[in-house]
A and B are shown apart, each in its own frame.
Chain A
Amino acid sequence: MLRGIDVELRRGTLVRFHGSNGTGKSTLLRMLAGTDSPSEGRVEGRPRRVAYVPERFPGALPLTALGYVTHLGRIHGLRRGEAKARAGEWLERLGAAEHARTPVSELSKGTAQKVAVAQALVAAPQLLVLDEAWTGLDAAARDELDRSVAERVAAGATVAFVDHDPQRLVRAVDVAYRLEAHGLVPAEPPSLEAGSESWVRIVAVGPVGAIAPAGLPGAPSVTAGPDGTTELTVASVHSDGVLRALLGARPAWHVRAVSPTPDQVQRPTPVRERNQP
C-alpha cells in the first residue's frame, strides 16, 4: 500500500527508486506508467509516448517476437513500415535478431525479456518506466539497455527505474528516492565501487578556439590535449551520446580517437547537476 507519495519527475532526468521488497515499488512504477490508477490522488502531466518494461515478460503470447514488437510500435503511433523496421533494429541491438520469427511462447526467459525491452524502446518513449528490466538479460543486452537509457535521457526523456543492483547506472542517475512505509524520501545514490565503472577517453578536434559543446551527456571531464585536440573522459555508458553530440554539433567536431581508459588512471571529478524535487 502506497501513501503520501509526492514526487515530480523532470524531463531529461534518470530517476531511481529504491526500497525493500513489498514497499510497493512495482505499484508506484505502474502508476507512473499509467497502467494502474491510484485509488486516491492522481498522476499528472504524463507525456504522450509512455513505455513500460515489466520485471518478467510472460511467455504466453502467441505472436512472434518481431510481430509483437511491431504491433506495439503501431500502438505507440508508428506507421506499419516504420514499426516493423524499428522492431527489427531493436531486436538486433539487443541480440535477439535470430529469434525474430520465433513465437514469444517458445523463447527462453532471457530472450523474452529482450522482447519486453524492445517493445518499450521501439517508439522512442518520452517516459520510460523500467521495473527491474535488466533481470534475465545477458551481459551484452544489459549494457545495451544501459546505453539506450542514457540515450533516451540525453534526448530529453524521463526514465524511471527500479533494479536490485545498487550499481546499476550509478554514474547516470540524476535523482534517487527511497520508498519507506510513510512515503517517498530523497536518497543519496550509492557510492561508486572501485573498478565498477569503465571510462572512455575521446580525443577530438573542434573549431579553432572552441571548448567542448555545452550540455554533453554524462558531464565529461574536458582537458586540452596536444596539437589543438580536446580530450574528453566520460563514463562508457555515455560515450555514444557524447560522440553523437560532437558529430552533430554545428560546426561538427572531428573525432580522432576513442579508447577505453583504466579507471585508476583518469577518473574525472564527478561534476553533476542534481535536480532536486
Chain B
Amino acid sequence: MTALLGYQLSLLARSQRWIAPGILYVAVLAVGVQSGQPVLDSLGYGSAALLPAAAWLVRVCVTNEPPAARHCASAAVGPRRVHLAALLTAFGCTALVGTAGTVFIVLISRGTSTSGAVVVPPLAAAAAGLLAVLACTLVGTAVGALCNRPLLRGTGWAVALTALGALLALVTAGSPARSAVTGLVSGSDSGTVAFALVPTAAALLLAGTAAAVACALAARRD
C-alpha cells in the first residue's frame, strides 16, 4: 500500500489538477477569515471550506490515471486497492492542508468568544478545530467517493453531483459535517469549546462505508 500511495501522490503532485481545489480552499479562507476575528467562528468556517475541496480532490485522484495505466496497476495489486489508494491520497492531502489551515487560523485569530467576554484557550480551540477538520474531510471524501468513478462514470453528472453533494453535506440537518461546524460556530457565541467527537465518529463510519462501496465496484468495466 505504501508503494501505491507513493504512486498516487506523485501522480497528484505532478498533474497540477490539485491546484483548483487548493485555490478554492485558500480563496474561501482569504475571504472569510481575517486576523483578529473570534477563533472558534473562523475554525468552523475554515473546516466547512474543506468539505468541497476534499470531494473535488477525490474526483481528481480517482480520475487521474488514464484507464490503460489504471489497468496496469490493477493487474499488479487488484483494482480495489488501487481505488482505495486514490481515496486515501485525496483524504490524506486534504486533512494535511486542513491541519495547516487550523494552525494558521488559531495563530491569527482572537482567542475569545464572539462577544469578547469569554477567553477561549488556543490549544483547546486547535483541538476542536482539528476534529471538525477531520469530520469535514471525511464527509467530503465520502461525497467524492460516491459521486465519481466507479459509481458515476460520465463527467457531467459526476461533477454536478459532487458539487451538489458537497453543498447538501454542509447544509442538511443531521450531516456530521454540519454538526461539527455548527458546534464550533455556536460555541463561539457562548465561549464554550465543543469537541465534535460524535460527528467525527459518524463521519468516519460514513466515509468507511462509501469507500467500501466504491472499492467493491472498482473492478466494474469502464
Report which A residues bind B (CB closer than 8 A): 27, 30, 33-37, 49-58, 60-63, 67, 71-72, 74-77, 116, 119-120, 123, 129
Contacts and interface: CB of A to CB of B under 8 A. Distances in A.
B75 A63 contact: no
Interface string B16-44: 10000000000000000000000000000
B112 to A, nearest CB: 46
Interface stretch (B76-84, B154-162, B182-190): B76-84
Contact of A63 (B10, B74, B220): B10
Interface stretch (B1-9, B122-130, B132-140): B1-9
Interface residues of B, number: 27
B75 A36 contact: no
| Residue in A51, A54, A129 with the greatest tally of chain B CB atoms within 10 Å | A54
Given A34-B78, A35-B219, A36-B221, A54 B3 contact: no
29 contacts: A33-B75, A34-B74, A34-B75, A34-B78, A34-B79, A34-B219, A35-B70, A35-B219, A36-B219, A36-B221, A37-B79, A49-B76, A51-B75, A52-B71, A52-B74, A55-B68, A58-B69, A61-B11, A61-B66, A63-B11, A63-B14, A67-B10, A71-B10, A72-B72, A72-B76, A75-B4, A75-B73, A77-B3, A116-B68
B209 interface: no
A128 B171 CA distance: 50
A52 B72 contact: yes
A74 B7 contact: yes
B7 A50 contact: no
Contact of B75 (A27, A35, A60, A62): A35
Contact of B221 (A27, A60, A61): A27
A30 B4 CA distance: 20
Contacts of B70: 35
Contact of B71 (A33, A37, A75, A123): A33
Contact of B69 (A37, A61, A123, A129): A61
Contact of B66 (A27, A36, A58): A58
Contact of B68 (A49, A57, A72, A129): A57
| Residue in A49, A58, A62, A116 with the greatest tally of chain B CB atoms within 10 Å | A62
A63 B7 CA distance: 9
A25 to B, nearest CB: 14
Main secondary structure of the interface of B (DSSP, over half): helix
A96 B121 CA distance: 60
B15 interface: yes
Contacts of A116: 68, 72
A129 B74 CA distance: 12
Interface string B64-100: 0111111111111111000000000000000000000
B68 A58 contact: yes
| Residue in A30, A71, A116, A119 with the greatest tally of chain B CB atoms within 10 Å | A71
B75 A57 contact: no
Given A57-B68, A75-B73, 16 more contacts: A30-B221, A33-B75, A34-B74, A34-B79, A34-B219, A35-B75, A52-B74, A58-B69, A61-B11, A61-B69, A62-B11, A63-B10, A74-B7, A75-B4, A75-B7, A123-B76
| Residue in B14, B72, B79 with the greatest tally of chain A CB atoms within 10 Å | B72
Contacts of A67: 10
B115 to A, nearest CB: 50
Which 3 A/B pairs are nearest by Cβ-Cβ distance?
A58-B66, A52-B75, A74-B3
B6 A74 contact: yes
B75 A56 contact: no
A71 B69 contact: no
A54 B76 contact: no
A37 B222 CA distance: 11
A119 B74 CA distance: 12
B72 A37 contact: no
B69 A57 contact: yes
A116 B72 CA distance: 8
